[in-house]
Amino acid sequence: MKVVIIGGVAGGASAAARLRRLNEHAQIIVFERTGFVSYANCGLPYYIGGVIEDKEKLTLNTPESFWDRFRVDVRVRHEVTSIDTKNKTVTVHGLDTGKTYQESYDKLLLSPGARPIIPKMPGIESPRIFTLRTVEDTFKIKQFIEEKQPKSAVVVGGGFVGLETAENLHVAGINVTLVELLDQVLTTLDYDMASFIHSAFRCEGINLRLSSEVEGFIDTEKGIRVNIKNSEPIDTDMVLFCIGVRPDSGLAKSAGLELGIKGSILVNDKMETSEKDIYAVGDAIQIKHTITGEPALVSLAGPASKQGRIAADNINGGDSRYKGSPGTSVIKLFDITAASTGLTETAAKAKGYDYEKIILSPPSHATYYPGAKTMTVKLIFEKSSLRILGAQIVGYDGVDKRIDVIATAISLGASALDLMDLDLAYAPPYSSSKDPVNMAGFVIENIITGKVKQFHWHDIENLPKDGSVILLDTRTPAESSKGIIDGFKNIPVDDIRERIGELDRNKPVYITCQVGIRGYIACRILEAEGFDVYNLSGGYRFYETVMKDKCPSPETYTCGADKK
């Protein structure tokens, strides 16, 4: 059996290695148009910033190592220009030799990945504008920085690559402005959760220009000018264009393969395309979203690697199936980690789900062990079925661990209440006896059983200020003196029982504290006395970050118990 693989990196390289482990006698040829077949795509921004110092570390496998270990014939700098499905051949162009030839196949695997989106606009061809997708792109950017010593840079686009590149340019000593068309960065998060990233970037000195549309570029004597619609232009030394990617499916389209959403390659759960003996994996394909069951694009290395393994199984006569993806992701930005899985609230609302959300800010580990840090968890679940629709976590420590637990729960069909009962590892340096994931389950149980009612940060502006409701801040006087929501009266939670006479039982009470715990306790006290009470989800800390652009701090976790 002769297998030709078009494209390496996560999907193609994984498929080649898996296929050899399954079949020692198959002839395997990999064509890769860049000079690198298997590299750390997600590590590219960190080489620019100097976090990864040795460029050799970016290369996971070379053509030579593939041959030595797996006897796979890897031909880099070779671009496949067409596929003849009838005669089962591909046309290959050697980018260094200039020669063109045909290669036959019994089975063909497409792993072409995705290409950066480069819209047509004035000045887009400037030599000072860069994209970041391949190792060659990285070296080009690094060389420009070393030779030209730029003092400033504009990053266009606030997705994963844009944010990581902005951070690393900043680390390299360059003054960075990030321009984003939307009113937030990182759309795997909702606006409120993305606010933590906005604040962190501004605190680090990165200029954020949100809700800003780039109209074009003009080369100047000293650099390049970025024109912004209805706003002042930005003069800078270089531009990184990172507004997203699109499936690189041109080869598949010209071969007559059926396409899916946004021009992606349509495959079934065995990674088979519409053409017999042709498979496809990675960023170029359409998959099924685990939550909605609808077609989706997920440009992540994890799914691509799994798809490569599944395709190899099936090429070798197996019966492996890809179950889809909830799009679990994580990113480190300065000291903050942001992670998500499943649907955001924005997506859940757009899909018409009848959902509820919770926001809590538990400690990363036991508070009596030094160094506990606050993380913020937002979880969305379907009201009727209690199915987990998605989760987002932003914090400083232990974020990846918790998002992986929730992603696992989603994949196994656990309900939101099942989170209460998960038996998770506990030792003081790593967690609490009630892990943040357990705590999310407890909060949900309190809400659906009516033990507490909640309101959210976006409800506050509509609360009446005419005295018809009671607005109560249950933090300590020292905390509330540093910032309090307009119209709220401070009565510390520990004093509520003695000062209950100050409250009118005939009026609804809206309560806040720092992160929600004391608010919940106050709600239980007042409800037992006949009050109609509501707790602010996420507390004042969350409200302050979203509404006041407050810089988050990796402070030791506290819920006010040690403050007077």
Catalytic residue IDs: 42
Determine the Cα–Cα distance for residues 340 and 252; give it in Å rounded to an integer. Answer: 31
143 in helix, strand or coil?
helix
DSSP characters over 83-98? EETTTTEEEEEETTT-
CB of 77 within 8 A of CB of 135?
A: no
Q: Give me the sign of the Cα torsion angle 414, 416, 420, 426.
A: positive
CB of 179 within 8 A of CB of 154?
A: yes
Q: Supply angle C-alpha 180, 111, 96, rounded to 5.
A: 95
Looking at residue 415, the DSSP 8-state letter turns out to be: B
Structure tokens at 38: 């298997």
Determine the Cα–Cα distance for residues 450 and 439; give it in Å rounded to an integer. Answer: 17
Determine the Cα–Cα distance for residues 400 and 340; give it in Å rounded to an integer. Answer: 9
CB atoms within 10 A of CB 309: 22
CB of 51 within 8 A of CB of 168?
A: yes
CB atoms within 10 A of CB 531: 21
Determine the Cα–Cα distance for residues 519 and 474; give it in Å rounded to an integer. Answer: 6
Listed in sequence order, the residues at least 6 apart from 192 whose beta carbon sits closer than 8 Å to its beta carbon are 359, 378, 457, 458, 542, 546
In 266-421, alpha helices (H): 301-315, 345-350, 399-411
Determine the Cα–Cα distance for residues 389 and 271; give it in Å rounded to an integer. Answer: 26
Closest CA to 310 of 6, 7, 5, 11: 11
CB of 90 within 8 A of CB of 73?
A: no
Determine the Cα–Cα distance for residues 400 and 331; give it in Å rounded to an integer. Answer: 9
Determine the Cα–Cα distance for residues 6 and 368; give it in Å rounded to an integer. Answer: 54
Report the Cα–Cα distance between both ends of the chain, in Å, rounded: 75
